[in-house]
Amino acid sequence: MVVRAQEEKHKMLLAFKVGDTLVEFRRNWFTGNTSLTTPSEKIQLQGFSDISTHFSVKLTKSWSCTVSDLSVVIEKRRPLLLAGIRPQHYKVFIDGNLVLEQSGF
């Protein structure tokens, strides 16, 4: 069940449920900080100091973790040209099932 997807000034916010657990995925487009937050923990998926945050030749980046014994995969696809100033495309998969698609920074 999808709760909300929104784009704030400097971050992408995707909120969804994994089983009965509310999960929020946040990514700051400027710093590259990326995290997944549940009521009981915050999982840092990517940080500012990771070189792959700022430089990568791959068009698709994915993050995986487990929440409430279910596999969660978040995939971000960037455009080939001028990726820093164009929307990124996000997909959220829970146990292999697509539950949310959203575009934004």
pLDDT in tens, the chain (105 residues): 555 555 555 578 999 999 999 999 998 878 888 999 999 999 999 887 776 655 677 899 999 999 999 999 999 998 888 777 788 899 999 999 999 999 887
Phi, psi torsion values for 85, nearest 5 degrees: -120, 10
Contacts 24+ apart (CB under 8 A), 83-86: none
At 48 the pLDDT is 74
- Could you give the number of structural domains in the chain? 1
Q: How many residues does the chain have?
A: 105
Query: Residue 65: which domain range?
Result: 2-98
pTM of the model: 0.82
With respect to residue 104, please indicate whether it lies within any of the assigned structural domains. no
With respect to residue 103, please indicate whether it lies within any of the assigned structural domains. no
With respect to residue 40, please indicate whether it lies within any of the assigned structural domains. yes
At 86 the pLDDT is 84
With respect to residue 52, please indicate whether it lies within any of the assigned structural domains. yes
- Using one digit for the tens of pLDDT, what is the confidence trace for 61-83? 999 999 999 999 999 998 888 77
With respect to residue 13, please indicate whether it lies within any of the assigned structural domains. yes
Cβ atoms 15, 7 nearer than 8 A: no
